[in-house]
Structure 1
Amino acid sequence: MNNRRLWMLPALFLLLAATNLVLPSARIAASQLPYDTYYKDGFGQLVRTQAAYVPASVIGQDALLSPDAAALQGGEAKARALNQPKDLFVDERDHIYIADTGNNRIVHLDANGSLVQVLTVAESPLKKPSGVFVDKQGDIYIADTGNNRVVRLDADGKLLKVFGRPESSYLPASFKYDPINLVVDKRGFLYVTTLGAYQGLVQLDPEGKFIGFFGPNKVAFSVFDAFKRFVYTREMYQRELKKLPGAIANATIDRDGFVYTVTKEIETDQIKKLNIAGLDQLAGKSDFAALQANRSYGEVLHWQRDMSPQLNDVTVDASGNITVVDSIWNTVSQYDLNGNLLFFWSSDVITATSKTGVVKTPAAIAGNSKGELLVLDGTNNLIQVLRLSAFGKLVHDANALTQEGRYEESEPLWNEVRRQNAQYTPAIIGLAKAAYKQEDFERAQQLFYEAGVTGGYSESFWQNRLEWFQRNFGLLMNIVIAASLAFIIGRKLKPRLQAGARLRLPAIGPQSFTGRLSHLLVLVKHPIDGFYAIRYEGKASLASSLVILTGAVASFGYMEASTSFVFNPKVQIGVDLIPITVQFLGIWLGWVISNYLISSLLRGEGRFRDVFYSSSYALFPIILIGIPVTLLSKAMTLNELSIYNFLKLAIAIWIALLFVWMVQGIHNYTFIEAVFIIALSLLALTIIVILIFILIALSNELVNFINSLYQEVIIR
C-alpha cells in the first residue's frame, strides 16, 4: 500500500505543475479582454460579471486584399478594401453581406470570411448603398440610398426588380424617400427604413405598392406642452416648431415574423418588437416593469449619463435575445426576448489602431448560427467577431429554458450561474421562478424579494397568505366570535361604564395640553369651526402643534420606509429618510411662510402662529390613516393595489380639504377665496424654492471664486 502511494506522488506533482501552467494563462487571457462586462438591475445597481462574449477574430480586410479577391472583381489591378461600410447581414448559411457604401457595392463573404462575390449591378450601378437583406430564397434586397430606391437581385447578382418611390395619395409630396435599411417578411412584404422618416417604416407589398407606415414612434407630451395647449392661441401654435417623434434608425426581423426597430432620438422605448399589427410586444413584459414605467434601452455606465445612448442597429438570435449597438458610447447591450437585460459591455476606443474585440464606430451588428456576434466597424472598415463565452452560453441556455416555462430544467443551470456570480440577478429570478413552479412559495418569495421583482413576490406572498389562512381558519373564526361577543357586551355595559368614568376621572380642561390635542376630534367633525377656534379661542399651542408635526413627520417616514415591498420596491435597497424628512419639513415650512405672506397682503386675519399651528393640525390624517395603511400593506398583494391606492388618495384628499378649510377658518375667507389664496401661496412657494436654488448656486460660485483667489495667492 505504501509503495502504491509513493508511486502516485510523481503523478500528483505533474498534475499540479500542469495546473499551475494552465491557470495563470487563463487568468491572463481573461484579464486582457479589451472591455468589461456588466449587468444592471431594476434599481440601476451595477454588477460586474464574467465576459459574455470574447473576441474571436477579425474578418473582412484580408479577404478583400487577396489575389483571389482581385480575380473575383473582374481582374481589377487591385482589390479595394471596405470604405465606410454601413450595414451587415448574415444569411442562414452564415454567409456575410456587407453594404460597402463608400465603394458603391455589396460584398459577399462566406462563413469563413473569404470573398465570394462583389455586387455592383452593372446594368444599373449602385450609389451609396446603406442596407442589405437576403431572404430565404437567396434573393438580395439592397437599400440603394444614393439612387433613392430599393433593388432586388437574385443570388448571382442579376437585377430582378427596382422599387422606386411608391406612388400613393397617402404619401405627402414633401415625403423624402431615402431608403437606408430594409427587412422582408415571409410574404415578401418590404419594411423600408428611410432617412429621417418619423412616420415609421414604409411598408410595401411584393410589387412595390404602398401599404402604409408601420410602427411609428409617439410624440413625447410633457407638462409644458399641456400648458402651451391651454394658453396658446392658434397663431402662436402656427409659429411654433413642430414637435415630431423620433425617426427609426434601423430594423431587423426574426424567424417568427416580429419586426424589431431601434430609434436614436428618444430616451425611452428605443427598442420595439412589433407584431403584424404594428403593436409593441416589449411594453410591460420586463421583470422590472413595476420599477420602470418608462423603459429605457441602451445601457450606459454611471459616468456616461451626460449623454443619452444612440442605438444604431439591432439583431435577434434564434432564442429571441436582442442585441443592440450604441454609436455614441460604443456599447453592446443584450436583452432577452421580454426585454430583460442580460449583459452589456463597452471598450476603450481612444487609440486609433484596430485591436481584436475593439470597435471604434459600430455601424451594424448581426449574428450567425453559431451564436457569434459580428460587429461592423465603420471606421476601421472591418468586422469584429465575438464568440459566446462559457458563462454567456450557460446564461443563454438557462434563460432559454426559463422563457419556455421549463423551470425545473433550468434550476441546475441557474444554480451554477449563481455559484459563479452570486450578484447576477437573472440567476436569482430564474431560481425564484423554479421554486414557484415547485410550489416552494416561501423560497420563491424570498428570492423574488432579493431580486427586486414585485410581481413574482406578490404572487408568492398571495400563495403563502392563502396557506396561512387555511391553517389558521379555526383560530380566526374563534377570534371573530369572541370580538363580536365583546362588542355586544360592551354596548350593554357602555352607559354604566361611562357614568363610572365621569365620577372617577377629572375633567380635561380645554386649555390644557391634553385638551388641545383632543381638539383634533373637533377638526374631524367640524373642520372649519375647529380652525376658527384655533384662531380665536386658543385651542392650539406651540407644544401641541410641535407634537402633531413631529408625529406627522415620523408617520410619513414610517410610510416611506416600511410600506410593503409590493407597493414600494425601494425598501429592498433601503430608504434614506434624511433627505425625505428635510424635503417634507422644507415644503411644509415654505407653505407656512408663503401662506402667511399672501394672506397678509389680501386681508387675511390669521397671525403667523395661527398659520403655523393650523398647518400642523392639518397633517393629522397622515398619523390617523397613514400608519394603519402602512401596516395593512404588509398583508396585501398587487391584487389589492386599487384598495391601497384608494386609501393613499383618501389621505391626500383629506389633507388638501383640511388646508382649504384651514385658510377659510383662520383667515375668514369664503371657499372660492380660500382656493385662490392657496393657489397664490403655492406660486409664492415655487418662487421661494427657485430663489433658494439660485442663492445656493451663487454662493457656490462665490466660494469657488474666493478659493481660486486664495490658491493664486498661495502659488505666487
Structure 2
Amino acid sequence: MMRIKAMVSAIVMASVLFTTAWINVVHASTPYEAYNYNYWEEAVASPAAFVPSRTVGGSDLGIEPFLEPNDMVIAPSGNIYVADTGNKRIVVIRPDWSLDRIIDSVEGIGAFGTVSGLYVDEDETLYIADSGLGKLIVLNKDGSVKLIIDNPQSDIIAAGFKFTPTKVAVDDAKRMYVVASGVFEGIMQFDTDGEFLGYIGTNEVKRDYYEIIWRLFSTKEQRSQMVLFIPTEFSNLDIDHKGFVYATNIDLNSPTPIKRLNPSGEDVLKRFGYFHVKGDIRFRASVGPSIFIDIKYLGDGIYSALDSNQGRIFTYDAEGNLLFIYGMHANQNGTFKTPVAVEYDGVNQLVLDRAKANIHVFKPTMFGELVLEASRLHYNGYSEEAVPVWQQVLDLNSNYDIAYIGIGRSLVMSKRNEEAIFYFKQGMERDQYSVAYKRYRREEMKEQFGTIMTTIVIAAVMIIGLMIWRKVRSKRQGRTATYSAGRDQAL
C-alpha cells in the first residue's frame, strides 16, 4: 500500500513539474500577454497566435547596422526590401535571410534623400517614396529608372504645392496610390505614366456642433483662434487582390481609423464584429487609443494593423471580427521600441523596429494557424470544412467566441438550426441566433403541421359532437320534464 502511494505521489509530482516547465517555456517564448475582447468588451486571456522566432539586423547580414529604418516590403519573389533610411540605402534580403544587394543611388538622381515608403509589384518593379527629395521613384527590376514623379500638375492641386510622398502602393493595373505629407484631400492617385488622376478616400471630420454655433456669434478675432475643421492625413496603405485600398489614418478621435476604399473612394470595410475596428477597446487614459501606422493585407479578407502607440498588431477577418492581438513595447526579444512596418511572407509576420534597428520575425502557433485556416475556409465559402478546424480552436481556447459563431453559421447553412442555436448562444451572436431560432421554429411548424391540423380537426369534431349531444340531451330532458308535469296534474 505504501509503495502504491509513493508511486502515485511520484507521478503527481512529475506531472506538476512537467506542467510548470511547459508553462515556463510558453511564457519564455511570448514576452507579451496575448488577449482578446469578449462580447462585453472585456479583455480576456487568449493563447498566443504568433511567437517570436528571430531578429535580423544589418550585422546579421554582414553589412553596416541599420540606422533608423523606416519601411519594409516583401516582393512576390520573397525578397525583403528594407528602407534603411538613416544610411540612405535600400537593403534587399533573400528569403533565406542572406544579403541580395544594396541600392544606395539612382542614375540621374544620385544618393537618396529620406526613403520613407517602398512597394514592389509582380514584375519586381520597385516604387520608392523619397520624402527628402520630394520624389516618387520607380525602378525596373534591373535597377534602371522607369519613372520619376516630382511635380504633379492638375487644376485641383493648389498653387505652390510641395510634393512630399511618404507611402506608396500599386494595384494590378499599375495605378499608383500615394500618401503625401500635408495632403488632406485624400490619397493621391497616378496612372502608369505618372499623370495625376485625383484623390480618393477623404477622411471625414467629426464636427463639434457647439463650436459651429459659437462661430456664428463670434468675432473675427475669436474665429481666427479657433481650430479649423481640417481632415486628417492617412498614415499608410496596402492593396488587396481586388484592387481595394486598405488605409490607416492618425486621427485619435476617428471612429474609422482603418478604411477599405473601393475605386470610387467609398469606405466599404465590413464592421460586423462585437465592436468597432479600431484596435484596443479599453485603454488607460494616460496611454490613449491605438494609433495605426501600417496595415498589411494577408489575403482571404484578413488584414493586420500595426499600433505604434502600444506596439501591438491587431488582426481582423473580412467581417471585422478581431481574430487576435500580439506584441508590446519592451526591451526583450520579440517586443518593440518603435515599430514602423508590418509584413507577411505567407507564413510568418515580420515587424520592422526603427529604434532597435532590426526586423522581428514571428512564427504562428498552432492556435494562430488554426484560426487563420478556419477564417480562410469561411471566406472562400467552405464553411462546412471550417467546422472541425473551429472545433480544434475551441479545444485550445474554449472562450473563443468567433469559433462558436463560425460553427453556428455552418450549421445554419446545413439547415441544422437547432444545433446552431446553441453555438450562437455560446458566441453571444444575437442576430444570427434570432435567424436560426426563426428557421428552427418554422421547420418545427412544418414538421408538426399534419399532427397539429389532425389534432385541431379531431378536437373540433369532438367539441361539435359534444355540443350536439348536449343539445339533444337538453331537449330530451325538457320533454321528460313536460311529460312528468302533465301526469302529475292528471293525477
Q: Equivalent residue for 2:368? A: 392
1:191-210 equivalences under 5 Å are 191-210=177-196
Residue from 56, 64, 67 that aligns with 1:59 = 56
1:238-277 equivalences under 5 Å are 239=224, 240-265=226-251, 266-277=253-264
Partner of 1:386, secondary structure, is strand
1:444-523 equivalences under 5 Å are 444-470=420-446
What CA distance in whole angstroms lies between the structure 2 residues aligned with 1:20 and 1:258? Answer: 52
What CA distance in whole angstroms lies between the structure 2 residues aligned with 1:188 and 1:49? Answer: 41
- Residue type matched to 1:363 in 2? V
- Residue type matched to 1:438 in 2? S
1:120-131 equivalences under 5 Å are 120-123=104-107, 124=109, 125-131=111-117
What CA distance in whole angstroms lies between the structure 2 residues aligned with 1:157 and 1:331? Answer: 35
Residues 467 and 418 (structure 1 numbering): CA distance in 2 closer, same or farther, change over 3 Å? same
Could you give the per-residue CA deviations for residues 55-82 of structure 1, whole angstroms, max 9, x where no partner exists?
1111132344x2xx4xxxxxxxxxx321
Q: Is the 8 A contact 1:47 1:424 kept in 2?
A: no
* Matched-pair identity in %: 28
Q: CA deviation at 1:301?
A: 5.1
What CA distance in whole angstroms lies between the structure 1 residues aligned with 2:433 and 2:314? Answer: 27
Q: Is the 8 A contact 2:189 2:200 kept in 1?
A: yes
Could you give the per-residue CA deviations for residues 655-709 of structure 1, whole angstroms, max 9, x where no partner exists?
xxxxxxxxxxxxxxxxxxxxxxxxxxxxxxxxxxxxxxxxxxxxxxxxxxxxxxx
Q: Is the 8 A contact 2:83 2:117 kept in 1?
A: yes
Q: CA deviation at 1:126?
A: 1.1
Q: Is the 8 A contact 2:273 2:322 kept in 1?
A: no
Could you give the per-residue CA deviations for residues 304-326 of structure 1, whole angstroms, max 9, x where no partner exists?
67512111101111333211111
Q: Equivalent residue for 2:342? A: 365
1:168 is the counterpart of 2:154: yes
What CA distance in whole angstroms lies between the structure 2 residues aligned with 1:340 and 1:402? Answer: 13
Please report the TM-score for the alignment, with normalisation by the length of structure 2. 0.83
> Larger relative CO (CA 8 A, sep 6+): 1 or 2?
2
Q: Is the 8 A contact 2:72 2:341 kept in 1?
A: yes
1:117 is the counterpart of 2:101: yes
Please report the TM-score for the alignment, with normalisation by the length of structure 1. 0.58
1:335 is the counterpart of 2:319: no
Structure with the largest fraction of strand: 2
1:576-595 equivalences under 5 Å are none
- Residue type matched to 1:376 in 2? L
What CA distance in whole angstroms lies between the structure 2 residues aligned with 1:431 and 1:184? Answer: 37
Q: Is the 8 A contact 1:263 1:271 kept in 2?
A: yes
Q: Is the 8 A contact 1:321 1:335 kept in 2?
A: yes
Q: Is the 8 A contact 2:300 2:379 kept in 1?
A: no
Residue from 379, 391, 402 that aligns with 1:415 = 391
Q: CA deviation at 1:348?
A: 4.4
Q: CA deviation at 1:332?
A: 1.1
What CA distance in whole angstroms lies between the structure 2 residues aligned with 1:269 and 1:26? Answer: 40
What CA distance in whole angstroms lies between the structure 1 residues aligned with 2:73 and 2:392? Answer: 34
Q: CA deviation at 1:366?
A: 0.7
- Residue type matched to 1:465 in 2? R
Q: CA deviation at 1:183?
A: 0.5
**Unaligned residue ranges in structure 2 (runs of 5+):** 1-10, 461-491
What CA distance in whole angstroms lies between the structure 2 residues aligned with 1:431 and 1:226? Answer: 49
1:35 is the counterpart of 2:32: yes
What CA distance in whole angstroms lies between the structure 2 residues aligned with 1:248 and 1:341? Answer: 22
What CA distance in whole angstroms lies between the structure 2 residues aligned with 1:57 and 1:396? Answer: 22
- Residue type matched to 1:121 in 2? S
What CA distance in whole angstroms lies between the structure 1 residues aligned with 2:144 and 2:14? Answer: 58
Q: Is the 8 A contact 2:350 2:360 kept in 1?
A: yes
Give the aligned length.
443
What CA distance in whole angstroms lies between the structure 1 residues aligned with 2:165 and 2:397? Answer: 45
Residues 419 and 142 (structure 1 numbering): CA distance in 2 closer, same or farther, change over 3 Å? same
Could you give the per-residue CA deviations for residues 422-465 of structure 1, whole angstroms, max 9, x where no partner exists?
10111111111122122221222232233222321221122133
Q: CA deviation at 1:18?
A: 11
1:315 is the counterpart of 2:296: yes
What CA distance in whole angstroms lies between the structure 1 residues aligned with 2:248 and 2:320? Answer: 13
Structure with the largest fraction of helix: 1
Could you give the per-residue CA deviations for residues 586-615 of structure 1, whole angstroms, max 9, x where no partner exists?
xxxxxxxxxxxxxxxxxxxxxxxxxxxxxx
Root mean square deviation of aligned Cα: 3.0
What CA distance in whole angstroms lies between the structure 2 residues aligned with 1:224 and 1:416? Answer: 53
Partner of 1:339, secondary structure, is coil
- Residue type matched to 2:42 in 1? Q
Residues 49 and 423 (structure 1 numbering): CA distance in 2 closer, same or farther, change over 3 Å? same
Residue from 183, 197, 206 that aligns with 2:169 = 183
Partner of 1:462, secondary structure, is helix
- Residue type matched to 1:94 in 2? G
Q: Equivalent residue for 2:203? A: 217
What CA distance in whole angstroms lies between the structure 2 residues aligned with 1:43 and 1:413? Answer: 25
Residues 300 and 44 (structure 1 numbering): CA distance in 2 closer, same or farther, change over 3 Å? closer
Q: Is the 8 A contact 2:207 2:229 kept in 1?
A: no
Could you give the per-residue CA deviations for residues 383-410 of structure 1, whole angstroms, max 9, x where no partner exists?
0000011110011111211222222211
What CA distance in whole angstroms lies between the structure 2 residues aligned with 1:456 and 1:84? Answer: 48
What CA distance in whole angstroms lies between the structure 1 residues aligned with 2:329 and 2:67? Answer: 23
- Residue type matched to 2:319 in 1? N
Residue from 34, 41, 46 that aligns with 1:44 = 41
Residues 166 and 445 (structure 1 numbering): CA distance in 2 closer, same or farther, change over 3 Å? same
What CA distance in whole angstroms lies between the structure 2 residues aligned with 1:203 and 1:389? Answer: 39
Partner of 1:147, secondary structure, is coil
Q: Is the 8 A contact 2:125 2:141 kept in 1?
A: yes
Q: CA deviation at 1:419?
A: 1.7
Q: CA deviation at 1:41?
A: 2.9
Q: Equivalent residue for 2:475? A: none
**Unaligned residue ranges in structure 1 (runs of 5+):** 1-14, 70-79, 483-716
Higher mean displacement: 256-265 or 297-306: 297-306
Partner of 1:35, secondary structure, is coil
